[in-house]
Amino acid sequence: MAEKLISHIPEGPLAEKWTKHKAQIRVVSPANKRKLEIIVVGTGLGGASAAASLGELGYNVKVFCISDSPRRAHSIAAQGGINAAKNYTNDNDSIYRLFYDTIKGGDYRAREANVYRLAEVSNNIIDQCVAQGVPFARDYGGLLDNRSFGGAQVSRTFYARGQTGQQLLLGAYAALNRQVAKGSVKSYPRHEMLDLVLINGEAKGIIARNIETGEIERFGAHAVVIATGGYGNVFFLSTNAMNSNGSSAWQCYKKGAFFGNPCFAQIHPTCIPVHGTQQSKLTLMSESLRNDGRIWVPKKKEDVEKLRKKQIKPSQIPEEDRDYYLERRYPAFGNLVPRDVASRAAKERCDAGFGVNETGLAVFLDFKSAIERLGEKVITERYGNLFQMYEKITDTNPYKEPMMIYPAIHYTMGGIWVDYNLQTTIPGLYAIGEANFSDHGGNRLGASALMQGLADGYFILPYTIGDYLSHKFAEPKTDTNHPAFDEAEKAVKEKINKLLSIKGKKTVDEIHKQLGLVMWDYVGMARNEEGLKKAIGLIKDLKKEFWSNVYVAGENGEFNQELEKALRLADFLEMGELMAIDALNRKESCGGHFREEMQTEDGETKRDDENFMYVAAWEYKGDDVAPELHKEPLNYEFVKPSTRNYKD
């Protein structure tokens, strides 16, 4: 099977690879495109942009989303911005610099060629979105404005207030709507893919559940594109939307697509903390707040106790009794250390018993000194909308009392393994955006998720999928009466019937919350061998409990949100286990993956390039069989991997 892991990275100088590759791959004539059908699953930035672009090219596209409208995909919630190497600010940015920052930010666990291509097409994305009528922020001269983001020394982030993801998605969704009106794309909202159908080893269709009616439906095509985002909701609590899930990707894995680096998950340090056991999800507060906010916890345990009992207010704790732990530990970067470092440091203080809210899982982000230094007006100009949002949620005025924040799962860098063409190990199956593993290595930089989703959908997949389809136009339309569809549909129906018939004692959410706690405690910000082994055991137990003691309300033939959740949780349980297995295998620390055994004397990540400079691609071998590890070596031809340092 090892021959499946061919990355198809073109030879030649870094800057010429994509151009050369485009010249070499085949194209499909307009007349033949009309004969070809493509399924796109998911309508976030990746899926919507891909479906629209493929429709424009003349393919027959079917696009699926679980929401009532493609516009609700979770890309819509991205706040900060989108990176591009335009160098409009004249600060010596370039394609190479964006490439370098991204590969370094990923702690040298991504492919050079993919990342370079991403940087290369980044500029086209901005042009495209402007042409669609995306109202990017502009300066008084009428030109596009930029701001700075983490992990970069230049100002290259384009934005539309704090709603950049929303505006970019509305642009892609509009392009999609235009194709729907033209008839080149057919949209299937409230449809959930439950299985991938293979004929002779090639992806030829999907089985989907119509969420509105519960009907199980068959859809055939010449190729299938997965654009269903990440699997952060394995953790129950995350910044992902409630319905975001990994099931489509997981069905592909179980049909033979390898899964890349599942343990690479990003934990974002500045989220509004859990308020109690009734919490359903976590809300992100923009990273930009760390420019002026100072992070601290009390030095004295008795102050912590009083805070938790609300006997004192944080502002009453004198300066000398505050522990500004990031400034103490990382004097050079202070409160502006990277996301993974800030997150781990907050966990360390809370684990030591210094968490400041009722649950003991929160630290302060304080604007007192910034307000003293700059005045309240300046702070309002910079962060007014975030302060208002914080107050709405917590009922605390952050001008008077510090914000409370805590890290939360935010993004998964891991995903379906793809080659340079974004094709998975299954011919005809492609994965784009957060659903694939390819561009962010061990850690994603801020404002790069939007860039990747749109790069894949607008400018990469429409070219590379043509190479595969150029051999397929003579093939007739996929017959959904083929036995492979019968078999897949039967398996889906059996799974649903099984879930509905268990009628146990525990609700879906109860088991999901338990899984989330196991993941957070042992496969979260800090991992070690003992904990990971324990997690694998606990998850196996939970899986058993789920399949014998879950209670799924209602029936299949109706709108049934409990059944939707149960189907997704069945997969989350398996994904959580694979994350733990991958984390156990990777005995090094890099980016968001922190193995406690592998740290420097100062508690920083310690990579092991000699033994782990590879992509871990896992192959499914059966339900109760260990997955098989395949390694794709990462060859750094153009950049020399180095160690990150934030102390001096």
Partner 1 sequence: MDLTLKVWRQKNAKEKGHFETYQVKNISPDSSFLEMMDILNEQLIKENIDPVAVNKGCKSSGPVSFDHDCREGICGACSLYINGRAHGPDNDITTCQLHMRKFKDGDTITIEPWRSAGFPIIKDLVVNRNAFDQILQAGGFVSVNTGGVPDGNAIPIPKKDADESMDAASCVGCGACVATCKNGSAMLFVSARVSSLALLPQGKIEGARRAKAMVAKMDELGFGACTNTRACEMECPKGISVSNIARLNREFLCAKLKD
Chain residues 203-222 in contact with partner 1, contact rule CB under 8 A: 212
- The single residue of 117, 339, 344, 586 carrying the catalytic annotation is 339
Query: Of 90, 92, 200, 280, which one interacts with partner 1 (CB under 8 A)?
Result: 280
Spell out the SS3 assignment of 430-461.
EECHHHECCCCCCCCCCCCHHHHHHHHHHHHH
With binding defined as CB under 8 A, does residue 38 bind partner 1? no
The binding track of 283-312 with respect to partner 1, each residue x by CB under 8 A or -, is xx----------------------------
Backbone angles phi, psi at 326, to 5 degrees: -70, -40
Closest CB to partner 1 among residues 170, 426: 170
With binding defined as CB under 8 A, does residue 174 bind partner 1? yes
Q: Which helix (H) or strand (E) holds 328?
A: helix 325-329
Cα 469 to Cα 38: distance, rounded to the nearest angstrom: 10
Q: Which helix (H) or strand (E) holds 514?
A: helix 508-522
With binding defined as CB under 8 A, does residue 142 bind partner 1? yes
Touching partner 1, residues 549-578 (CB under 8 A): 551, 553-554, 558-562
Q: Which stretch binds partner 1 (CB under 8 A): 50-58, 302-310, 440-448, 479-487?
A: 50-58
Closest CB to partner 1 among residues 132, 155: 132
Does residue 465 contact residue 430 with C-beta atoms inside 8 Å? yes
Cα 495 to Cα 532: distance, rounded to the nearest angstrom: 29
Does residue 304 contact residue 288 with C-beta atoms inside 8 Å? no
The binding track of 444-463 with respect to partner 1, each residue x by CB under 8 A or -, is --------------xx--x-
Sign, Cα dihedral of 421, 425, 429, 431: negative
Cβ contacts of 435 within 8 Å, gap of 6 or more: 42, 46, 226, 227, 228, 229, 230, 248, 249, 415, 416
Q: Which stretch binds partner 1 (CB under 8 A): 216-224, 230-238, 501-509, 603-611?
A: 501-509
With binding defined as CB under 8 A, does residue 127 bind partner 1? yes
With binding defined as CB under 8 A, does residue 71 bind partner 1? yes
With binding defined as CB under 8 A, does residue 380 bind partner 1? no
Closest CB to partner 1 among residues 482, 506: 506
Q: How far is CA 646 from the centre of its chain?
A: 25
What is the 8-class DSSP label of residue 383? Answer: H
Cα 47 to Cα 249: distance, rounded to the nearest angstrom: 13
Closest CB to partner 1 among residues 125, 535: 125
With binding defined as CB under 8 A, does residue 133 bind partner 1? yes
With binding defined as CB under 8 A, does residue 60 bind partner 1? no
Helix 483-502 to helix 561-585 angle (10° resolution) is 100
Q: Which stretch binds partner 1 (CB under 8 A): 20-28, 47-55, 99-107, 566-574?
A: 47-55
Binding-site size, partner 1 (CB under 8 A) = 82
Closest CB to partner 1 among residues 9, 130: 130
Query: Of 1, 6, 242, 352, which one interacts with partner 1 (CB under 8 A)?
Result: 242
Query: Of 122, 146, 157, 167, which one interacts with partner 1 (CB under 8 A)?
Result: 167
Of 592, 637, 434, the closest CA to residue 7 belongs to: 637
Of 255, 401, 440, 270, the closest CA to residue 342 belongs to: 270
With binding defined as CB under 8 A, does residue 140 bind partner 1? yes
With binding defined as CB under 8 A, does residue 384 bind partner 1? no
User: Rounded to 5, what percent of the chain is helix, strand, coil?
Assistant: 45, 15, 40
With binding defined as CB under 8 A, does residue 270 bind partner 1? no
With binding defined as CB under 8 A, does residue 68 bind partner 1? yes
Q: Which amino acid is at 103?
A: I
Q: Report, in Å, the least distance between residue 480 CB and partner 1.
A: 24
Q: 635: phi > 0 → left, psi -120 to 50 → alpha, else beta; which?
A: beta
What is the 8-class DSSP label of residue 185? Answer: E
Query: Of 87, 114, 128, 452, which one interacts with partner 1 (CB under 8 A)?
Result: 128
With binding defined as CB under 8 A, does residue 246 bind partner 1? no
Q: Which stretch binds partner 1 (CB under 8 A): 319-327, 503-511, 516-524, 585-593?
A: 503-511
Q: Which stretch binds partner 1 (CB under 8 A): 16-24, 278-286, 492-500, 575-583?
A: 278-286
Structure tokens at 444: 């994603």
Determine whether 339 is an active site residue.
yes
The binding track of 387-406 with respect to partner 1, each residue x by CB under 8 A or -, is --x--xxxx-----------
Query: Of 52, 252, 435, 488, which one interacts with partner 1 (CB under 8 A)?
Result: 52
Which runs of E-coded beta strand occur in 466-567?
506-507, 550-551
Catalytic residues: 339
